[in-house]
Structure 1
Amino acid sequence: MNNYGIDIWADDNFIIEDGVVKINYASKPSLIEMVKEIREQDYKGPLLFRFPHLIQKQIDKLFNLYNNAIDEYNYKGKFNAVFPLKVNQLPNFIHPLIKCGEKYNYGLEAGSKAELFLAMTYNKYGSPITVNGFKDKEMIHLAFIAKKMGHDITVIIEGLNELETILEVEKETNLPTPSIGIRVRLFNSGSGAWAKSGGIDAKFGLSSTEILEAFEMLEENNLSDMLTMIHFHIGSAMNTIKPLKNALKEAGHIYAELKNLGATKLNAINIGGGLAVEYSQFQRTLQYSLQEFANDVIFTLKNIAKQKGVEEPNIFTESGRFISASSTVLITPVLELFTAEFDEEHLRLKEINPPLIEELRDLYNDINSKTALEYMHDSIDHLDSLLKLFDLGYIDLEDRSNAEILTNLIIKKAIWFLEVDDYDELKRIDNKIQEKYLVNFSIFQSLPDFWGIKQEFPIMPITHLNKNPTRSASLWDITCDSDGEIGFDPNKPLFLHDLDLKKEEYYLGFFHVGAYQDILGMRHNLFSHPTEINVIFENNEVKLENILESQKIIDILEDIDYDTKQIKEVLKKNLDNNTYKILKKYLHDNSYLKTTWS
C-alpha cells in the first residue's frame, strides 16, 4: 500500500493504522474522528488543526540538541532561543507556543512594530526578545520602553543609521537603553530555497568596515557595554551543513575580534535559523542529522574562542520553521471527481454510430485482465482520433460525448484489472489516467508558498489507506484562477483513490503547513482563513478547543473597507422579508462551498 512517504516526513507524529491517519500520541485518535466531531458542530469548509504537543516536542528537541552538545564539549556558553513572530503570529499558535517554552525561557523575535507590541505584551519576563528588520525612530523608542517594562530585549541594528537613531533616543529620553546587537553581512551564504538571505549581497547586515565604525560610535558615546550580541542568518531550511560551518567560522572570528578590540560585554552570537524541515514525500533531502547541526555550532565556536583567547559565547537561534511547521495540518474534503459524469447512464448511443465509437463499445465489453493495458491504450488513441474528427465536423456532439464516456469507462475498468494484477504497470502509465480532484480550499489562502515558490508539502488522504490508490491526481482548488492547481508531477506523483463521492466522503490532509502559510495566505476571491481548532490532550484523551470559525463574508467585506451597512441596504431593496432573511444568512456564512461532505 502507498504510505505517502509518512516514514520520511512525519517524524513519528502521524501514523497509518486501520486504513486511517492517526496522531501518534496519547490515545492515538484518528484525524477523521476529529473532522467528524467538528462537522457535527456545523463548521463547514476546510479545517486547520493545530497540535500544541508538537510545538512542545520541537522546543524540547531544540534545547536538548544544544544542551547535549554543550555537555559533550564542556562548552562554557549557554543556549537560548527565540521564535520569529513572522513565521506565525496567530493567537491560536502563539499562546500555546509561549506556554510550551516557559521552562526554557524561550523568547520571541520581532521584525516590525506590530510584532514588537505582541512580544512586549505576551513574552514572559526573563525570556529574551530580539528585534530584527529595518527600524525607524518609533520602533527603536518602543524597544527602550520594553526595556523599562523589564524585558530582556536586544535591538539588532541593520545599518549605521539605526545605531545613530538609538543614540538619539538614548539622549532624548530618560529610559534605560536596551542591549544592542549587530547584524553582520557574511561572505558565506547558505543553501536551499532561501540561500539568498545570506552572503555578501544579502539584504541585511553590516560590512566589516561598518562593524568597526559601529563599535567606534558606541565607544565615543560611552555605550560600548551595551553591545552584547552579533547576529547572522544565512538561510532558512538549509539542506546541507557545510555553509553553516563556513558561516560559523566567519562570525566566530568577528565576535573574537570585537572582544579583543574592547567589546567586553559582547557575549552572544545569534546564528539565525537554518534548521531544515523534511517536506519531501519521496526521498530524504536533509544531508545532516539535527544533533550534527548543534554539535558543529558548539565545536566550531569553542575552537575559535580558544584560538583567540576569548570567552565562549552564548548561542541564540531563531529556527521558527523547525518549531512550527509540523504543528499544523490542513484537512479539506474532495468535492468532485471530474470523470464522475462518465458513466453508462449518460451514454447517448445511436442505432448507427461512427466505426470508432463501435470499436470503443467492443473494447469496453470485451476487456479483461489480459487485455486491460492494450485496450486502455487503444481507447485513448481512439479518443484522440474522434476529437480530431469532431474538429473537422465529421462527428457530432453526441458522438463526442459517447467517445469521452466510453474511453473513461474503459480506463476505469482497466485500472480495476491492473490494480489486481499489475499495479506497477498501472503506475508506469499514470500520465494517461489522470483524474482531477476538486478540493474545498484556496491554494492562495492556505498554501501560498506552493503558489509562490512551488514549495513542496506532504499531501495524503486521511482515510482509505488500506486500499491501493489508483488514480494519478491533479488537485483543483475552488478559486476561479488557473494557478489554483497542484498539477500531477510524474517525478513526484500523487496517487489518490477512485471512488463515488455520492456514497462516501474523502478528505485530504496537507501537512507541515504551520510555518508562514497562515500569515502569508491571501484573500484571493475573498476566501478567508479555514476554521482553526487546537487539539489538546488531557488525561490521555483528546479535546478540541479554541475553535475559530472561518470569517463571515460580511466581515471580509468590512475588512477591505466596504460600507457593509450600505451593502445590506442595497440588497434589501425590492426584496420581501423572507427572501432578505435568506440573503442575510448567506452574508453571515463563509465563502467555502457547501456540499454533503463540505
Structure 2
Amino acid sequence: MLKNFGIDIWSNNNFIIEEGKLKLNYKSKPSLISLVKSIRDKNYKGPLLFRFPHLIEKQINRLYDTYNSAIKEYSYKGSFNAVFPLKVNQYPTFIKPLIKAGEKHNYGLEAGSKAELFIAMTYNKNAPITVNGFKDKEMIHLGFIAKKMGHNITLIIEGLNELETIIEVAKETKLESPNIGIRVRLFNSGSGAWAKSGGIDSKFGLSSTEILEAYDQLEKNNLCEYLTMIHFHIGSSMNSIKPLKNALKESGHIYAELKNLGATNLSAINIGGGLAVEYSQFNRTINYSLQEFASDVIFTLKNIAKQKGVEEPNIFTESGRFISASSAVLITPVLELFSAEYEAAHLRLKKKNPPLIEELNELFKDMKKRNALEYMHDSIDHLDSLLKLFDLGYIDLEDRSNAEILTNLIIKKAISFLEVDDYEELKRIDNKIQEKYLLNFSIFQSLPDFWGIKQEFPIMPITHLDKKPTRSASIWDITCDSDGEIEFNPNKPLYLHDVDLDKEEYFIGFFQVGAYQDVLGMKHNLFSHPTEVNVIFNKNGEVELEDVVESQKIIDILDDIDYDTNEIKSILNEKLDKNIYSILENYLYDNSYLKTTWS
C-alpha cells in the first residue's frame, strides 16, 4: 500500500503529516484544512487553488545556489543566469511574487509572444529578458523598443528570415539592436514526454549550414557585436540526464567554433529547460539530482572551452516547470460517494426473499475476521448471479436493490475486519469494490495535462491521515463528460477514506499543479478557474491570505466567449416577472461550481 500518499517521493519536504492533517512544512506550519476553512469563512465556495510564493522563492534559491556551488567547485569562469518562461504561467498572482522572489538573483523572464513580451517589458526591472519562438516584424520592433527602454534583452532567432527582419528594423528605425541569440538545431534530443522539442527534426532552430549563413549576414551588416548567445532546448522534464550531456557537448563545440570564427562578444549558452519535476507518488521517475545536473553542465562546458581555447561561457537556463510546479495546490471538496445509497437503512427485505438474498444477509450477519475475505468473494459471486436473474425476470427491482446494498455492506465490513497491509489480494477484485468520489471541480479546467497527456499528479486527502484509507478510489469531476474521471489504476492504486459526508467534510488535494495547468485550462461546460488565493507568511511567521481571485461569474464567462450579456438579460427579463427575474439574475452573477452543504 502507498505509504503516506508518497509525500517522501514528490513533496521535497514541503509538506508534513501531523495530527492526521497535511501541513505546510514552513514557519508556523499551518494545516491545509485551516487554510481551506479560512477562505471558506469568507464565503468562497467550490474548488480552491492555493499559491505558495515561499515555494517559488525556495526553488529559485535552490537553482541559483546549486549552480553557483558547482561553479565554485570547478573554478568555472562564467556566470550562472536564469529566466522564467512566461508560457508556463503568465498570471499576475504568480508572476509578481516570482519577480520579487528573484530580484536578489537578477532572475529574468523569457517571452514567446508579443503579449508575453509586453509583460516582461512592463514588470521586469534589470534582469535579463530572452525572446524565443517565431517572430514577425512587429515583435522584433518591440525588442528594439525594449532595448531603448534599457532592458537587457536578447532576441533568439529561430530562422534566417528573423535575422533578415532584425537587419531591416535596425536600418529603418536607426535604433540600437538588442542582443541576438541563435537557436541551434542539435542532432541530440532529450527524453520523456517532450523529447520532440529537440533533435534534428525539431520545428525550432538553425542547422549547421544556416548558422554559418547567419554569421555571414551578421558580419556583412556589422552586427556581429550583438551576437551574444546560442540557445538549445532538447525537451521539458527530462527523466534521464544522458541526453543533456550529449547536447552540451554538441552546443559547446558550436559555441567554440563561432568564437574562433570571430564572434568575440558571444559569451553565453542558453541550455533551455529540461529539469524534471517528480509527479509520481509511487516510485521515483527521475534518475538524477539538481546537483548532478548542474555539475554536468559546468564540467562539460569547462572541458570544451579548455579544449578549444575559448573563454568559458555564461550559462542561462529556462527551467520553468522546476520553479513553478510545486507552488500551487488544488483543493476540492468531495460532494458525494456513490455507495452512499448502499446503507442498511435502505434495505427493503421481504418476509420471503430469494435464496441468494437470504444467503447474502447471512454472510453479512455471520462475518468474522477469519472468514472476511472468503465471504467478500462469495458476496460478489452472489451479486453477479442475482443480476443475471434480474435480467431473466426471476427477481424484481426490490430484490436487485437488496442484493446491491448487502454486497456493498459485506465488502465494507470485510475491509474493516481485514485492515489489510498488503492489498495484493484485493487488487484482483478492486473493479468490483472501488468507491466513486464526486469532486466539485473540472479536470479539463484544473488538470488539463491529465486529460491531454495522462500526466500524473500527486493526489491525497488533507485530513483523516491518522486513519487507514480503505476504499480503492475512482475520482469523478462534475462535467458531463466521461473523460472527466481519474480511474482507479491497480498498478498505481489510490486509496481514500470511507467517510459519511452527512456528518463531516472530506477534501482532496492535487499537488504539483503550478506549471501550465492554469494557462492550459479550458472552459469545458463553461466551468472557469477555481477561486485562487496567495498564502503569504508575515514577519512573525503567521499566515495571511492575499490576492484572492474569485472563480468567474457566469455572466463574465458568457461575455468572454462573445455573448451579448445585455441581450441575454433583456430576453430573460421579458419572459419573467420581476421577482423571478431577480432570482435568476443572482444566479448569473454566481460561478458555475455546485453548491451543496460541503461545496
TM range (shorter): over 0.9
C-alpha displacement of 1:193: 1.0
| 1:154 to 2:154 alignment | yes
Q: What's 1:502 paired with?
A: 502
Measured in 2, the distance between the counterparts of 1:329 and 1:252 equals 39
Moved more, 296-305 or 409-418: 409-418
Q: What's 1:314 paired with?
A: 314
Q: What's 2:567 paired with?
A: 566
Report the AA paired with residue 54 of structure 2: H
Deviation digits for residues 438-478 of structure 1, max 9, x if unmatched? 00000000000000000010000000000000000000000
- Please tell me whether the aligned partners of residues 427 and 490 of structure 2 are also in contact (alpha carbons under 8 angstroms): no
Report the AA paired with residue 477 of structure 2: D
SS in 2 for 1:388: helix
| 1:63 to 2:95 alignment | no
Normalising by the residue count of structure 2, what TM-score does the alignment of the two structures yield? 0.98
C-alpha displacement of 1:423: 6.7
Report the AA paired with residue 381 of structure 2: D
Measured in 1, the distance between the counterparts of 2:248 and 2:463 equals 46
Q: What's 2:37 paired with?
A: 36
C-alpha displacement of 1:324: 0.2
Measured in 1, the distance between the counterparts of 2:322 and 2:105 equals 17
SS in 1 for 2:575: coil
Q: What's 1:109 paired with?
A: 110
| 1:383 to 2:383 alignment | yes
C-alpha displacement of 1:174: 2.0
- Please tell me whether the aligned partners of residues 418 and 425 of structure 1 are also in contact (alpha carbons under 8 angstroms): no
Q: What's 2:185 paired with?
A: 185
Q: What's 1:50 paired with?
A: 51
Which residues in structure 2 correspond to 1:145-544 (within 5 Å)?
A: 145-419=145-419, 425-426=425-426, 429-538=429-538, 539-544=540-545
Report the AA paired with residue 332 of structure 1: T
Report the AA paired with residue 12 of structure 2: D
- Please tell me whether the aligned partners of residues 92 and 534 of structure 1 are also in contact (alpha carbons under 8 angstroms): yes
C-alpha displacement of 1:18: 0.4
Taking a change above 3 Å as real, the CA distance of residues 287 and 535 of structure 1, as seen in their structure-2 partners, is same
Measured in 2, the distance between the counterparts of 1:165 and 1:295 equals 38
Measured in 1, the distance between the counterparts of 2:424 and 2:41 equals 40
Measured in 1, the distance between the counterparts of 2:524 and 2:431 equals 30
Measured in 2, the distance between the counterparts of 1:294 and 1:351 equals 75
Report the AA paired with residue 221 of structure 1: N
SS in 2 for 1:101: helix
- Please tell me whether the aligned partners of residues 554 and 589 of structure 2 are also in contact (alpha carbons under 8 angstroms): yes
Deviation digits for residues 74-95 of structure 1, max 9, x if unmatched? 1010110000000000011000
Measured in 1, the distance between the counterparts of 2:88 and 2:424 equals 41
- Please tell me whether the aligned partners of residues 23 and 31 of structure 1 are also in contact (alpha carbons under 8 angstroms): yes
Taking a change above 3 Å as real, the CA distance of residues 421 and 456 of structure 1, as seen in their structure-2 partners, is closer
Structure 2 unmatched ranges of 5 or more? none
Taking a change above 3 Å as real, the CA distance of residues 420 and 145 of structure 1, as seen in their structure-2 partners, is closer
Moved more, 350-359 or 13-22: 350-359
C-alpha displacement of 1:349: 2.0
Taking a change above 3 Å as real, the CA distance of residues 498 and 581 of structure 1, as seen in their structure-2 partners, is same
Which residues in structure 2 correspond to 1:114-133 (within 5 Å)?
A: 114-124=115-125, 126-133=126-133
CA RMSD of aligned residues (A): 1.2
Measured in 1, the distance between the counterparts of 2:577 and 2:463 equals 45
Measured in 2, the distance between the counterparts of 1:319 and 1:469 equals 36
Report the AA paired with residue 234 of structure 1: I
Measured in 2, the distance between the counterparts of 1:228 and 1:287 equals 33
Measured in 2, the distance between the counterparts of 1:462 and 1:557 equals 34
C-alpha displacement of 1:346: 1.4
C-alpha displacement of 1:225: 1.0
Measured in 1, the distance between the counterparts of 2:118 and 2:528 equals 25
Which residues in structure 2 correspond to 1:89-104 (within 5 Å)?
A: 89-104=90-105
Aligned length in residues: 597
SS in 1 for 2:39: helix
Measured in 1, the distance between the counterparts of 2:176 and 2:591 equals 48
C-alpha displacement of 1:406: 1.0
- Please tell me whether the aligned partners of residues 2 and 468 of structure 1 are also in contact (alpha carbons under 8 angstroms): no
Report the AA paired with residue 117 of structure 2: L
Identity percentage of aligned residues: 81
C-alpha displacement of 1:55: 0.4
| 1:72 to 2:73 alignment | yes
C-alpha displacement of 1:420: 7.1
Q: What's 2:584 paired with?
A: 583
Deviation digits for residues 47-78 of structure 1, max 9, x if unmatched? 00000000000000000011001000110101
Structure 1 unmatched ranges of 5 or more? none
Measured in 1, the distance between the counterparts of 2:473 and 2:421 equals 21
Q: What's 1:12 paired with?
A: 13
Q: What's 1:556 paired with?
A: 557
Moved over 3 A (4+): 420-432
C-alpha displacement of 1:429: 4.6
- Please tell me whether the aligned partners of residues 230 and 268 of structure 1 are also in contact (alpha carbons under 8 angstroms): yes
Moved more, 427-436 or 560-569: 427-436
Moved more, 567-576 or 543-552: 567-576
Normalising by the residue count of structure 1, what TM-score does the alignment of the two structures yield? 0.98
Measured in 2, the distance between the counterparts of 1:513 and 1:558 equals 27
C-alpha displacement of 1:558: 0.3
Report the AA paired with residue 87 of structure 1: V
- Please tell me whether the aligned partners of residues 239 and 285 of structure 2 are also in contact (alpha carbons under 8 angstroms): yes
- Please tell me whether the aligned partners of residues 331 and 510 of structure 1 are also in contact (alpha carbons under 8 angstroms): yes
Report the AA paired with residue 334 of structure 2: V
Measured in 2, the distance between the counterparts of 1:27 and 1:127 equals 33
Measured in 1, the distance between the counterparts of 2:424 and 2:208 equals 58
C-alpha displacement of 1:393: 2.0
Measured in 1, the distance between the counterparts of 2:423 and 2:485 equals 27
Measured in 1, the distance between the counterparts of 2:422 and 2:7 equals 24
Measured in 2, the distance between the counterparts of 1:498 and 1:344 equals 15
SS in 2 for 1:561: coil
SS in 2 for 1:406: helix
